[in-house]
Structure 1
Amino acid sequence: MTRTVCIVGAGAAGVGAAYALRDAEADVTVLEKSRGVCGRAATRRRSDCRYDHGANYLKDADEHTVELVESLGDDGLVAFDDPVWTFDADGTISESDRDPETKYTWEEGITQLAKRLLARTDATVHRETRVERIQRGSGREHVDEDANGDRWYLVDTDGESYGPFDALVLTPPAPQTAALLAETKWHSEHLPALREAVGTVRYRTIRSVMLHYPFEVDVPYYALVNTDKKHDIGWLSREECKRDHVPDGESLLVVQMAPQWSEEHYDEPLEETADVVAGKVADLMDDDRLAEFDWTDDQGWRYAQPNSGASEEILRRGEDDGLFFAGDWVAGEGRVHLALWNGVKVGKRISGSF
């Protein structure tokens, strides 16, 4: 018997769950609010450049991650081991004493992770579909009235209904998942505890600013990371270190500002913010040329990285009724591979429950 599964969100966790269900007797539907897939592991194109402006790469965290990445094919795969150095509140840069790790992306960008995984499934993906309400009920026509029943229904912001589903996986960042749970009609003793557990997860906000230069920056590192968390810049990386991301002789810096700075300047116009960020970059890298860029771009990530995770014991209380949760906030740390494998684990639990 074929069961139906709905996954809300096509980020790493949602895609991981869909991938884990690829051989199960399951009809999988993915509802994604954005035009693209892979969530905060995002890629853009501009002026012959491709740049990973959220999660910058997938790290070789463990053997399973490496095997999975390599199983997706080596065509277009970019593996590089340029080092990440550190800097402190004073902007003093230090060479890292850690062995360089292999980092993965693709010539087409890190979104290829989700695209290639989804291509190995039969999942139906609805993009630009923002879920507004959820109900565990007995009929699509009674989405607002009857929360008794044994299947899941969803309604998007355009009033379109989806369902019924035997299992539902929620993967958006915890604050967005909490908002969905607040609008969920489900007669369960577990719902209050789930709402509280998810609602307590807090996130760090990050504003990424991209700065392009018509010359190549000559430094011995791929990226810089602020280790004492006291600098306005949290992370700075060079997209030209990734094959086919930036034309020869050019540089494109991805500058992720620290959470406090990002919150304070989140809504400021880019034309103002970019000049300020470029000045900070020039000071940090001791290169006055970097204060003058030829184009810029930005992205605000209100829910960039979770400070901690929710109680997995509480989150699993809804699984007997087919409600599952996945994401970096379930794993407890904002890493692409952790979100991915958390989604895979959830998908396998769903498959095993059939």
Structure 2
Amino acid sequence: MPSIGVVGAGAAAAAATFVIEQTVGDAEVTVLEKSGGLCGRAATRRRGPVTYDYGANYVKDDDPRVTELLTETLDSDGLVDTAGPIYAYEADGEIHEGRDSDDHKWSYEAGLTQIAKRLLGETDATVHRRTRVETVHREGEQWRLTDTDGETWGPFDVLLLNPPAPQTAQLLRDAEWDADLREDLVAAVDAVPYRSVWTAVLHYPFELDRPYYAVINTDKDHEIGWLSREECKPGHVPDGESLLIVQAGQDWSEEYYERDAEDNVAELIDLTAELLDDDRLREPDWTDHQGWRYAIPDGAVQKGPVESAAEEFGLYCVGDWIPGEGRVHAALRNGLETGEKLAYRL
């Protein structure tokens, strides 16, 4: 019976686990997730009757295989299509028509975290939340993991690492693993560039009338990089209310990432009111926030060392940073493909 360890329960890890369990019937999969949730940056929160995706905004239909997974393979009950186009603006804040509005922008009535919940729910994998892996060990032909509480997990015949590239690089850098490949692998993973995103969530007890679902800053020269209306997702926001997801641009996010959260939210409230030219938006009735230190990869990993680690040691890296496209569908596709490679190996 092959034993497989998975660090992180993001979309890619969930997809890989799903494929493994579907194709390798006797596999024993253990998933260790540092947070209390699933699906990584495809994250969802709820407050009363309001549901909101505060990290990734939706799943695009850019990949036929992922589309089939969500609409046919998995239970599609509650899968919803976001209504409205995406408009654009530049540094001057002048909003104009932008992207084609015919693309599907999927979420769920219960939020994007449903992706990992449904994938893992179709498996017999054991998922341990609030378990942060601190050290990776190579013992003979197998892997062991030690968490921050000192508990050891394994042994595993195969290991999947799903954290963002900088965190994966740190795990590999600190690993108790004597291999000539390790230095090249750490360098390759550590070289993947990342953008930080600081997000404010603003709720209003009135309906905001706009012809778009979201607006995006195309020249990357505005303090706000993205702003979307969660009420455009069926089942997320009650009628007569509005919820804005305001994601600061890269430069702003990096400059103010460590600043007091209340100050960040207050500034983003004012910037939102100015961008949408509506002073009512200066007084939300409640707010939320989240900083994403490693939000979006800006490039793909060098494939050679990653593929060699998988082939020689059964060590697989998964995530949207492998193809270098910070999209949920890219993470899912990578997970599906990695799961197939691993199943073939077993």
Q: TM-score, normalised by structure 2?
A: 0.96
* Partner of residue 347, structure 1: 339
**Residue deviations 1:135-187 (CA, integer Å, cap 9, x gap):** 110xxxxxxxxxxx110011000000001111001110011001101111222
Match of 2:199 among 196, 202, 208: 208
C-alpha distance in structure 1 between counterparts of 2:57 and 2:268, whole Å: 19
Q: After the TM superposition, which of the residue ranges 339-348 and 252-261 deviates more from structure 2?
A: 339-348
Aligned ranges for residues 20-39 of structure 1 at < 5 Å?
Answer: 20-23=19-22, 24=24, 25-39=26-40
C-alpha distance in structure 2 between counterparts of 1:307 and 1:268, whole Å: 24
* AA matched with 1:63: P
SS of residue matched to 2:265:
helix
**Residue deviations 1:213-267 (CA, integer Å, cap 9, x gap):** 1100000000001000000000000000111111110000000000110111112
* AA matched with 1:91: G
* AA matched with 1:64: R
- The answer as to 2:84 corresponding to 1:87 is no
- Structure 1: 5+ residue runs without aligned partners? 138-148
Aligned ranges for residues 116-155 of structure 1 at < 5 Å?
Answer: 116-137=118-139, 149-155=140-146
SS of residue matched to 1:343:
helix
How far the C-alpha of 1:97 sits from its partner, in A, is 5.1
Q: Provide closer, same or farther for how the CA distance between residues 247 and 99 of structure 1 changes in structure 2, counting only shifts above 3 A.
A: closer
* Partner of residue 217, structure 1: 208
Q: After the TM superposition, which of the residue ranges 322-331 and 69-78 deviates more from structure 2?
A: 69-78
**Residue deviations 1:18-73 (CA, integer Å, cap 9, x gap):** 01101213111111001010000000011321100000111111222221111222
Alpha carbons 1:270, 1:297 under 8 Å: kept: no
C-alpha distance in structure 1 between counterparts of 2:163 and 2:186, whole Å: 14
* Partner of residue 194, structure 1: 185
How far the C-alpha of 1:202 sits from its partner, in A, is 1.9
Q: Provide closer, same or farther for how the CA distance between residues 97 and 131 of structure 1 changes in structure 2, counting only shifts above 3 A.
A: closer
CA RMSD of aligned residues (A): 1.1
Segments of 4+ moved more than 3 angstroms: none
- Structure 2: 5+ residue runs without aligned partners? none
Aligned ranges for residues 1-354 of structure 1 at < 5 Å?
Answer: 2-23=1-22, 24=24, 25-71=26-72, 72-96=74-98, 98-137=100-139, 149-319=140-310, 320-354=312-346
C-alpha distance in structure 1 between counterparts of 2:297 and 2:64, whole Å: 25
SS of residue matched to 1:185:
coil
C-alpha distance in structure 1 between counterparts of 2:101 and 2:44, whole Å: 27
**Residue deviations 1:60-113 (CA, integer Å, cap 9, x gap):** 112222211112223211123410110111001111252421111111111001
Q: TM-score, normalised by structure 1?
A: 0.94
Alpha carbons 1:81, 1:101 under 8 Å: kept: no
Alpha carbons 1:42, 1:53 under 8 Å: kept: yes
SS of residue matched to 2:21:
coil
How far the C-alpha of 1:194 sits from its partner, in A, is 0.5
Alpha carbons 1:84, 1:100 under 8 Å: kept: no
C-alpha distance in structure 1 between counterparts of 2:100 and 2:58, whole Å: 18
C-alpha distance in structure 2 between counterparts of 1:33 and 1:172, whole Å: 10
C-alpha distance in structure 2 between counterparts of 1:175 and 1:64, whole Å: 28
Alpha carbons 2:137, 2:175 under 8 Å: kept: yes
C-alpha distance in structure 1 between counterparts of 2:260 and 2:137, whole Å: 39
* AA matched with 1:40: R
* AA matched with 1:273: N
* AA matched with 2:215: L
C-alpha distance in structure 2 between counterparts of 1:99 and 1:232, whole Å: 25
* Partner of residue 144, structure 1: none
Aligned residues: 342
How far the C-alpha of 1:272 sits from its partner, in A, is 2.0
SS of residue matched to 1:305:
strand
Alpha carbons 1:88, 1:230 under 8 Å: kept: yes
Alpha carbons 2:195, 2:293 under 8 Å: kept: yes
C-alpha distance in structure 1 between counterparts of 2:82 and 2:294, whole Å: 28
Q: After the TM superposition, which of the residue ranges 31-40 and 100-109 deviates more from structure 2?
A: 100-109
Alpha carbons 1:205, 1:303 under 8 Å: kept: yes
How far the C-alpha of 1:275 sits from its partner, in A, is 2.0
* AA matched with 1:349: K
C-alpha distance in structure 2 between counterparts of 1:22 and 1:216, whole Å: 45
